[in-house]
Structure 1
Amino acid sequence: MLLLWLLLLLPLLAMLWQQRPSWLILLRHQVAWRVLAWEAAWQQRKLEQSTLHVGQSQQQALTWCLKRAQSPCCLPRGITDMSTFRNQLPLTKTSQVQQEESKEELLPPTSPQYHGEASLQATLLGLVTLNKAYPEVLTPGSSACVTPPSPWPGSVPWLRHALGRVSPLGAKDTRTLLLEALMFPGLRALEARTAVELLDVFVGLEADGKELAEAIASGKLGTPLPSRAAELQEALEQGPRGVMALNLWPEQPQGSYLLPPGVPFIELLPFKEGTQEEATSTLLLTDVQREEEYELVLTDHAGLTRCRLGDVVQVVGAYNQCPVVRFTRRLGQTLSIRGEVTDENTFSAALAQAVGQWPGAKLLDYACVESGILDSCDGSAPHYEVFMELRGLRNLSEENRDKLDHCLQEVSPHYKSLRRRGSVGPVKVHLVGYGSFRVLREALAACPSSSFPPEMPRVLRLSHLAQLLQKRVIS
């Protein structure tokens, strides 16, 4: 009861304390963290119980999805048995689900939300974990929301006041929110609605940092702050540092994530690199093996489809009876014009090696296209075309462009063999202007069947998307 009263009083106190001294801000922040700690401790106990009894937890998650199904299902009424569900409902791929949704003209796509309890648990445990690993980023006045709106206050509305976000609320554009946030000397963390939008914010910060610093120094939004502008410029010159993803172990150098046994219902499909045959039988969370790779299969109540996401994870540990995984690759992001199958990891490794040989260059984003999509062979052998956005370099010599093809031959023996025989032509490299990939993501989001947030493909299969980048080539 005390906790409920505190939750009800905090928004009222936030409205009353418009003109508040610093000690009240600190007091409110401390009260908020006490409340958070109590509730997070309760959520932690619930997580412990669910991960210790995974079989029971997964059965409860599936039952919840079946009872709240929002679309017709091929299963007979009353079926709640896990084995029957997995045997009778076929696996589908993301592309198939999106095609069916576009045909049926369902409700407009919305941000995917877990069951409210799971969302609250993720929010609270995430905040507490972040505070333990990096306590300075959640002190009063240290965090800023730079996209309207942010997801965290959605589960716990009073957090926006209690934790002292520095940027004002309201429907403003991202650039204005970022500029206002950067004026605060205590800023330590930026918060956005999705990871993709946060990436765009950081890319924009790197590209327009000098301009933003000049706006702060000149007082574009109020009082000139030359010293703050100098601090910002110094920080930008040091380059980006910090955490880009949140998990239960954010201090670890490589991201690892707990697969919880709640909603959505999770299955894992065994994955073997280089094999032609696909596994048809999925495993539950308790059946996976350490160091093995699996494709994620999710089921929620919205579509009640056993959807293969195309994301491949490797099991790297366990949390009680639940697997801890690391994302390794995405299926479907492969280049293949002569049957060579150059996957995303292989190409990314070659590209990173090549960019490392370009003085001053930093890769911001890229996408690949098979030459047939753009109809750009012109009598030459089929080849790959790569569009990339760089920082620190506006032009590439032919010698530097050729380095990508050489690096790709080093990491892919099959590609090297095809190049030597002349069956495949050299990679063509194009530099695109700043903001090109933000425009690409906007075009992806505008597609009726697109997910939210839109998945950023490394290999473009649609000609109009490839042409969008082609029109923005600067070198």
Structure 2
Amino acid sequence: MLPAAAVAVAVAVAVAVAVAVAVGVAVGLPAAPALRHRLARAALLRVAGWQRRRLEVRGSEVRGSQERRLRRLLPAGAAPGSEAFRERHPLGQGCGDAEPAERGPPLRPWALLRGCWGTDPPLQGSLLYLDALHAAFPRALAPRSTALLSWAPAAPRAPAGWPLPTLYCTPHQARALPVRAAALRVQLLFALRARGLRALEAGLAAELHDAMAALHAGWPALAQDLALGRLSPQPGLPEETRGRLQALLAPDAARAAELRAECARGFEGIARRLWPQLEVVVVGTGHGAEQLYCDALRQADCKGLPFFCPFYRAAGALLGVNLWPEEPAPRFLLCPDWAFCEFLPCPAEEEPRTVLLGELWEGREYGLVLTARPGEYRCRVGEVLRVSGFHKQCPVVQPVRRESQALSVRGEGIPEERFCRSLCRAVGMWPGARLVDYVCVESDLLGSSSGACAPHYEVFVELRGLRDLSEGQRYKLDQCLQEDFPLYKSFRFKGSIGPLRLHLVGAGAFARLREEVGSPLPMPRVLRDPRLLRLIQSTVIS
């Protein structure tokens, strides 16, 4: 029955997309782009509905789906079955935090036909995203109703809705500019032109955060560019590219006046005031290290707007999808067709033995072991997930922490998310202060510059509302850590870990740091690169 349904959907999609393409190449028809968008949207939503039904079926037979996925990843002639696979291949080393860019394949009718019964995770994931977005915010799929704020200088990762490119009002040339700040400012200018936006989409929550900071600092110049229909020269914007982008602009004095009036009132809730029809903020990565930026945006610039994080990726592989856009905390259904997943129960056992996708327990935490590409078997991803429930037999998970981002100078292992809670608690004791950003460094990276003292942590923070820190305030963070982590307190009492050193950096320091990282990856909270350490040290003001 399912193959027959797939054929019916495939035929409908092929006809609709072929018509859309034919309409798109016609010239002299003002309605062609809107008609092409409606036809493509109808076709994509139909195949997205098929993908959702298919996911429901596969979710009822997780073990079989995982075994089939594993067979596709193994070479011909390999012994079948997950048990033989685990016996033959030992647990691999860590994958690290690297997350290579992921580009969606060109949209063609035959690509959609393959997608109806194929196993291409980027296509399936984007179709499921369109289905979930349409169910919760149907008007967000209007033509050119989404602004994209995402920097991808080399091989750009496809936006969430890449099968429907007419969804976006942002020129694709603006994503690949060599300088991150220039790319975000150009994208922000094109977003400001479109008063009828329904959605803001960013590859990382940090990108939206920095675009809003650019609005705070540069709204008079942005308003001037809107009024004149120009794109001002700036570092990182090649003249040839600037000319092509400026040809897409037109003077809009009324919109410029609106921008000036709203920014002059302050920035709380500015997103909804500038774009009155805005319904949702979509962030490619908004959990873990990016949660700090989501929280800041929710409290100020994007106040009152829901945040939707549609995908869960790890080690460059797409693993899960969020089917619940309106829920405040993102949770992801692990799709059994996309990768072969194993899990190490936490806390770690002396002789680790993995469990499979269909063997997880609700409420428990697991370290992820991944086989997503041929030849890369049983890779320890370094991420810990908590099982929050099940959808059919598929586990629904929430990312908890990145093991590579734990602080440890004596084996004490302070996890990333728990350190952040302690830091936020300490900042809450400093009157008027609000945490903007932070990174940590273990003293061994400092070398001789750390002085002749016991191993310790150095923390660099950017604050709003506070220009200096007293010694008593600096000590509050070390005190909070001792209260929250008994092992750390024990080492501090013995003198085997020295006192924490806290440094205040200037405004914009972390935007420069993200630029220097050079690729759109979640913020590293523990710096392990001397080059990045030197940069953040150069911005210290107190």
Q: Deviations over 1:78-105 (max 9, x none)?
A: 333221111111112335898xxxxxxx
- Count of matched residue positions in the alignment of Structure 1 and Structure 2: 440
Report the counterpart of residue 258 of structure 1 in structure 2: 333
- With over 3 angstroms needed to count, the CA separation of the structure-2 counterparts of 1:332 and 1:410, relative to structure 1, is same
The letter of the residue matching 1:127 is: L
Q: Which residue is 1:211 aligned to?
A: 218
SS in 1 for 2:404: coil
Q: Which residue matches 2:53?
A: 45
Tell me, yes or no, if structure 1 residue 326 matches structure 2 residue 398. yes
Q: Is the 8 A contact 2:385 2:399 kept in 1?
A: yes
| Aligned match of 2:79 | 79
Counterpart position of 2:297: none
Out of 252, 273, 291, which is 1:223 matched to?
252
Alignment of 1:281-360 (within 5 A): 281-360=353-432
Alignment check: 8 A CA contact 2:460 2:504 kept = yes
In the alignment, which residue of structure 1 is the partner of 2:301? 240
After superposition, the C-alpha distances for 1:174-226 in whole angstroms (9 at most, x for unaligned) are 3212222122212242334x32xx52232242354241354225635343311
CA deviations on 1:259-306 (whole Å, 9 max, x unpaired) are 11112211111111xx6x445211111111111111111112254221
Q: Answer yes or no: is the 8 Å Cα contact 1:209–1:233 preserved in 2.
A: no
TM-score by length of 2: 0.73
In 2, the alpha carbon distance for the partners of 1:243 and 1:178 equals 19
Quick one: percent identity of the two aligned structures? 40
Backbone CA RMSD of aligned residues: 3.2
* AA in 2 matched with 1:470: Q
Change (3 A) 1:388 1:11: farther
Q: 1:200 aligns with which of 196, 207, 228?
A: 207
Which consecutive unaligned segments of at least 5 residues does structure 1 have?
Answer: 69-76, 99-107, 446-451
Q: Which residue of 2 aligns with 1:249?
A: 324
Amino acid at match of 1:48: E
Indicate whether 1:268 and 2:268 are aligned.
no
* 1:12–1:112 Cα change, 3 Å: closer
- TM-fit CA distance, 1:471: 1.9
Report 1:5-404 matches (<5 A).
Answer: 5-16=15-26, 20=30, 29-67=37-75, 77-95=77-95, 111=102, 117-147=120-150, 149=156, 151-152=158-159, 156=163, 159-161=164-166, 163=167, 165-171=168-174, 172=177, 173-192=183-202, 194-195=203-204, 198-212=205-219, 214-217=221-224, 219=227, 221=230, 222-224=251-253, 225-231=256-262, 236-238=267-269, 239-241=300-302, 242-243=306-307, 245-246=309-310, 247-272=322-347, 277-375=349-447, 376-404=449-477
The answer on whether the counterparts of 2:17 and 2:39 sit within 8 Å (CA) in structure 1 is: no
CA contact (8 A) 1:374 1:467 kept: no
* 1:109-133 CA distance string (max 9 Å, x none): 6538898632222111112212333
What is the Cα deviation at residue 51 of structure 1? Answer: 0.8
Give the structure 2 partner of residue 449 of structure 1: none
Does the C-alpha gap of structure 1 residues 431 and 20 become closer, same or farther in structure 2, counting only changes over 3 Å? farther
Which sections of structure 2, spanning at least 5 residues, go unmatched?
1-10, 106-117, 178-182, 231-250, 270-299, 311-321
- Alpha-carbon spacing, 1:427–1:153, altered in 2? closer, same or farther (3 Å): closer
Given residue 5 of structure 1, which amino acid in structure 2 is its aligned partner?
V
Letter in 1 for 2:86: R
- Displacement of 1:393: 4.1
Alignment partner of 1:401: what SS? Answer: helix
Distance (whole Å) between structure 1 residues aligned to residue 37 and residue 266 of structure 2: 27
Shift of 1:344: 1.5
Task: Assess if the C-alpha contact under 8 Å between 1:207 and 1:391 holds in 2.
Answer: no
- Report if aligned partners of 2:102, 2:157 keep a CA contact under 8 Å in 1: no
SS at match of 1:332: helix
SS at match of 2:268: helix
Would you say the 8 A contact 2:66–2:339 is kept in 1?
A: no
Residues 402 and 15 (structure 1 numbering): CA distance in 2 closer, same or farther, change over 3 Å? farther
Shift of the 265–143 alpha-carbon distance from structure 1 to 2, 3 Å rule, reads same
* Residue equivalent to 2:3: none
Letter in 1 for 2:452: G
Deviation at 1:146, TM superposition (A): 2.9
